[in-house]
Copies of this chain bind each other. A is one copy, B any other.
């Protein structure tokens, strides 16, 4: 016998029809006992595996979902991926990773994969959709897509999110509680929704405490190490340098702290720094980073759960799940020095 065994081979050896084999192997409960175990044995001995293409073609489903992120290279997404994968596996789905590199064409490609049968549904972790809205509506309406972490407005898609505004406000309040007044914010690439929300949280906290935000106290970064360094330097060269910085993600916070050190400033002695994300290395960093913890694995889990509900028709209207965050107070923040 050349190549892998087919259902027909099993049928022949077991002396039954292909249909019976199919039924036996997929646990429909429609096959009687003497036959059932015989088929199973034969399948086992032939080392049988159903051909997925044939099955998918016939059933019109791929039993796969697509998880699309901006950049697979970012460790931040990994734990989410794990959460997604675990839940998907348990339901018999496999997970394909998609990587857009912030490239509109590639995003479209992944949407196309839904239509061409590559995947049955999609978990989107990218914030912007590049096409004109009407086109989007056409494509998106009724598509099995769940948005995680980011926000895509006006399309009625289910979301799994965190309270970016509240979490940021809490982070900044922590700095205010420590007596800081000149608090700057290194933001993500506004006007992306997530970055705007984190900046809003910062502004709310400042305003509630009656603190002013000087011009230029909200430089815009790109969530990468290097921009943390550059923007921190600019901030420190001002006549009114901050005594604390709330940075929109951990990676930029690492850059910020490094730059402060290079400038001869002590963290947290001279300047306090708070990040956002709680990467697994953040507590191994020196000083251990005070940062906002997101329940990443749970976010992935919930996103996949939602998607399963969409896929089974249980979930018809868009629902937004909000997952809790927690400020991890560690060594990068301290009381403001008395003036």
Contact = CB atoms under 8 A, between A and B. Distances in A.
A81 B72 contact: yes
Contacts of A73: 78-79, 81-82
Interface string A1-35: 00010000000000000000000000000000000
A49 B79 contact: no
Interface string A271-313: 0000000001100111000000000000000000000000000
B254 A52 contact: no
Contacts of A97: 95-97
Contacts of A75: 75, 78
A37 interface: no
Copies in the complex: 2
B62 A85 contact: no
A99 interface: yes
Nearest to A257: B286
A50 B53 CA distance: 13
A75 B72 CA distance: 9
Interface stretch (A113-121, A158-166, A172-180, A204-212): A113-121
Nearest to A96: B96
Contacts of A85: 72, 99
Contact of A56 (B53, B81, B280): B53
Contacts of A116: 4, 49-52
Given A57-B51, A57-B53, A72-B82, A284 B254 contact: yes
A85 B284 CA distance: 30
Nearest to A119: B52
A74 B79 CA distance: 9
Contacts of A115: 4, 49
A242 interface: no
A99 B95 CA distance: 11
A95 B285 CA distance: 33
A54 interface: yes
A11 to B, nearest CB: 18
A73 B77 CA distance: 9
A153 interface: no
A31 B46 CA distance: 43
A258 interface: yes
Contact of A284 (B4, B50, B225, B280): B225
A112 interface: yes
27 contacts: A4-B115, A4-B116, A49-B112, A49-B115, A50-B116, A51-B116, A52-B116, A53-B54, A53-B57, A72-B78, A72-B82, A73-B81, A74-B78, A75-B75, A78-B78, A82-B99, A94-B118, A95-B97, A96-B96, A96-B97, A225-B284, A254-B284, A255-B284, A257-B286, A261-B286, A281-B281, A285-B286
Give me the 9 closest cross-chain CB pairs, A-B, nearest first. A53-B56, A75-B75, A53-B57, A49-B116, A254-B284, A286-B286, A73-B78, A97-B97, A53-B53
